[in-house]
Amino acid sequence: MPLDILFAICGMLSSRDLVNLSRVDAIFCRTLTAHDVSFLWKAVGKAEGLIELARGISEYRWADLFFGKPVCDICHRKNGFVDWILRRRVCTQCSKANLIAASWVRRCFPGVNDDILSLVPLTAAGPEKLRARKGYYWISDITDIQAKIKELEADPGSSKCLAAFRMERKELVEVATKDAKRCEQWIRVNARREADEARRRRDERFFMIKTRLVELGYDERDVHGIRLEPSVVRDTELTSQGWSRMRRGLEAAIKKNRVQQAKADRTATLFSRADIVDGILKTYKQQFLPVVWREMPSFADVCTFPAFRVVLEAPTELAITDASFVDATQQLPTLIADWKRRKESELRAQVVSLETEGVDPLKLATAVFSCEHQRDAIITNTDLWRHRCVPFLILSGPGSMYDQFPVADVDDLYKHIGNATPFFDRTRSAIAASVVRLASCDPVTTTAEEMDDLNLRFLPTNMYDRVGTYRSVLGPTVYGLPILTWRECGNISPRVGIGSDFRLLTPEDEAKKKLHCSDNVDSQTYEDVSKHVQDVHGVVDPQMDRDLFLAPGEKKCTLSLLKIIHLLCLVDALLSLRDPLILTLQMKPADMLFAERGCVKANSYITVFFYMTSFPETHLSRLREWYQRAAGHIQTQPGDDEPILDAVRPNLCLASPQNFR
């Protein structure tokens, strides 16, 4: 092919395509990288708005840096990045091998001075995330400049050439440094422009595909379902051949999406209809007192009633409103009564072993049920009616992942919003029996109502024989010993895996109970807790171990917060010397610091070690000066009743590292 025709064709390509073409084989490489072909690269770059060519670089290399693939110039690995000051595309490994920190140059190249380094580009980008304060040089740039200078110096009468070379190199370094930001800015702008152009081409392609599908009889929802198909999101123009290849695959995807959409529609419809039932049941409950409606079924159970099920499972396309449930609502009294009788019958069948003459087994204190979701113990039929343990309501509501939780009928709906079936819990029943015996009652005949009337409190005796942290029956983690009702004993034991050992609360235990509140479950300062007890609970003179107590795990302190801050200021001042040292700060115990505030004297030294390598004797005077200044500051603080040095006297000891080995 004649070169003029080849160049005419290449002139219609983009710079990126032209760079890729130059790497097809050796012939294209030699042809397109020849010096006299620079006009082609210049014309193509100008058409794309490429910034003007910088000095000291060819048109081909200039285009390659902007549009070439991210391949390292040295090892040809991928993920190479362009350093615009060095004008090289290198990978991380090659950067490590070829860059040298400016501070290390004279150690590795003794003959190099500032005059030579001024002729070498200096980059701030180091290998990986390393950043030297003075920057990095490319090692071969230094050696090449050294060799060139030696060559010119060896030639007699080359002083003018050497001076011209130095001037030219300095100008090139200055230009490369200035052009770096300009090149990086153009790269960012061009990337945004290319992204916008690709988005425009994708939108045009999708519009053409949408038009063809609508002509075939598909609707907007069908088209939206294939919007992210790989053949649709390409940024190339749609051709007749391309449409013929992709049409069959798109129609198969639409067919599959219609099945999923039908499931999603069915799920959304059933949840929407269940919301109507929920509203109907709430309106119905308003006719009764809470003592009555609290024993009514949940709306999920109402959905399973035959009269409601028929309406709920009507075809998806049929519109269902409140009026659709009028006949079913009129049957609610009968349906609810039948539901309660049926549930009681199912429960009685599980507690046959508890039956005794004259006592309803479902009313016994030992008739304890649980559900598969490990919720609280269910005691008596009243608890059974109030039991709620919906497992997946949030994940299954309207707007959620219907394709992962498809609902086809009321039975599927109940799996997501209904309660689990309760079962007789023999473990909790045994715990309840032991608690009933502690109350001096007979587990065979004692009812739950009789245990409630006794109003006794119990303490667990296994893991909870000491003060610590525990998970309360209400949920949050609190400090102390859990004081439990007989019902709570069955809730806490299975959770923590302990036995059913409890004891009755004694008068001594009663004296230790914290009866105010649980607002301050986290450790607070004495002043804050004392003020809370005074202001909120009206206790004029709060007493330790009666109205408030030392938080578990905390130690009684002899220093106020203000004094500790002063000590930290002293330590910070000593550390500001910025010299290696070992500082041992010993605080001698106070006799009776803050006794009126509920604190007691300390019984041990508090020692803080700051360990470094050595301590220069030249800074001893400065160390003492800092100490005296900080100590004086502590003693003269306004409002500080007990000067810190009177009760807690720091001793500064200087030592060598050997003393601590």
Average pLDDT score over residue span 307-317: 95
Residue pair 218/254 in contact by the 8 Å Cβ criterion = yes
3-state secondary structure of 368: strand
Q: Which helix (H) or strand (E) holds 29?
A: helix 26-32
pLDDT at res. 126: 74
pLDDT band at 489 (very low <50, low <70, confident <90, very high): confident
Average pLDDT score over residue span 14-20: 87
Give the domain-ending residue among 406, 424, 442. Answer: 424
pLDDT band at 654 (very low <50, low <70, confident <90, very high): very low
**Is pLDDT at 651 greater than 70 in this prediction?**
no
pLDDT, one tens digit per residue, over 439-471 is 999 999 999 989 989 989 888 776 544 555 555
Residue with tokens 């490429």: 50
**CA angle, 299 then 302 then 304, to 5°:** 125
630: left (phi over 0), alpha (psi -120 to 50) or beta: alpha
pLDDT band at 607 (very low <50, low <70, confident <90, very high): very low
pLDDT at res. 650: 36
The pair phi, psi for residue 136, each rounded to 5°, is -135, 150
407 with 437, same domain: the answer is no
Residue pair 303/410 in contact by the 8 Å Cβ criterion = yes
The boundaries of the domain holding residue 162 are 57-192
Listed ranges 27-36, 152-161, 182-191; the one with the highest mean pLDDT: 182-191
pLDDT at res. 296: 87
pLDDT averaged over the chain? 76
Lowest mean pLDDT among 9-18, 405-414, 497-506: 497-506
- Whether 224 is covered by a domain: the verdict is no
Give the domain-ending residue among 192, 216, 249. Answer: 192
Comparing 332 with 495, the larger pLDDT belongs to 332
Beta carbons within 10 angstroms of residue 545's beta carbon: 11
301 with 388, same domain: the answer is yes
pLDDT at res. 436: 93
Q: What is the 8-class DSSP label of residue 400?
A: S
pLDDT at res. 57: 85
pLDDT at res. 528: 78
466 with 415, same domain: the answer is no
- Whether 484 is covered by a domain: the verdict is yes
pLDDT band at 159 (very low <50, low <70, confident <90, very high): confident
pLDDT at res. 269: 93
Distance CA 536, CA 529 (A): 10
pLDDT at res. 634: 41
The DSSP result for 240-303, as a single string, is HHHHHHHHHHHHHHHHHHHHHHHHHHHHHHHHHHHHHHHHHHHHHHTTS-HHHHTTSPPHHHHH
Q: What is the 8-class DSSP label of residue 13?
A: S
357 with 290, same domain: the answer is yes
- Whether 531 is covered by a domain: the verdict is no
At position 158, the amino acid (one-letter code) is: S
pLDDT band at 27 (very low <50, low <70, confident <90, very high): confident
367 with 383, same domain: the answer is yes
- Whether 636 is covered by a domain: the verdict is yes
- Whether 22 is covered by a domain: the verdict is yes
The DSSP result for 564-606, as a single string, is HHHHHHHHHHHHTT-S---EEEEEPPPSSTTGGGT-----S-E
- Whether 643 is covered by a domain: the verdict is yes
pLDDT at res. 219: 92
- Whether 204 is covered by a domain: the verdict is no
3-state secondary structure of 544: strand
368 with 478, same domain: the answer is no
146 with 169, same domain: the answer is yes
355 with 372, same domain: the answer is yes
Residue pair 599/558 in contact by the 8 Å Cβ criterion = yes
37 with 61, same domain: the answer is no
- Whether 602 is covered by a domain: the verdict is yes
pLDDT band at 242 (very low <50, low <70, confident <90, very high): very high
**Is pLDDT at 638 greater than 50 in this prediction?**
no
**Is pLDDT at 570 greater than 90 in this prediction?**
no
51 with 62, same domain: the answer is no
63 with 145, same domain: the answer is yes
- Sign of the alpha-carbon torsion through 550, 554, 555, 558: negative
Comparing 499 with 339, the larger pLDDT belongs to 339
**Is pLDDT at 479 greater than 70 in this prediction?**
no
Q: How many domains does the chain have?
A: 5
Among residues 324, 224, 225, the alpha carbon closest in space to that of 272 is found at 324
Give the domain-ending residue among 359, 392, 424. Answer: 424
89 with 184, same domain: the answer is yes
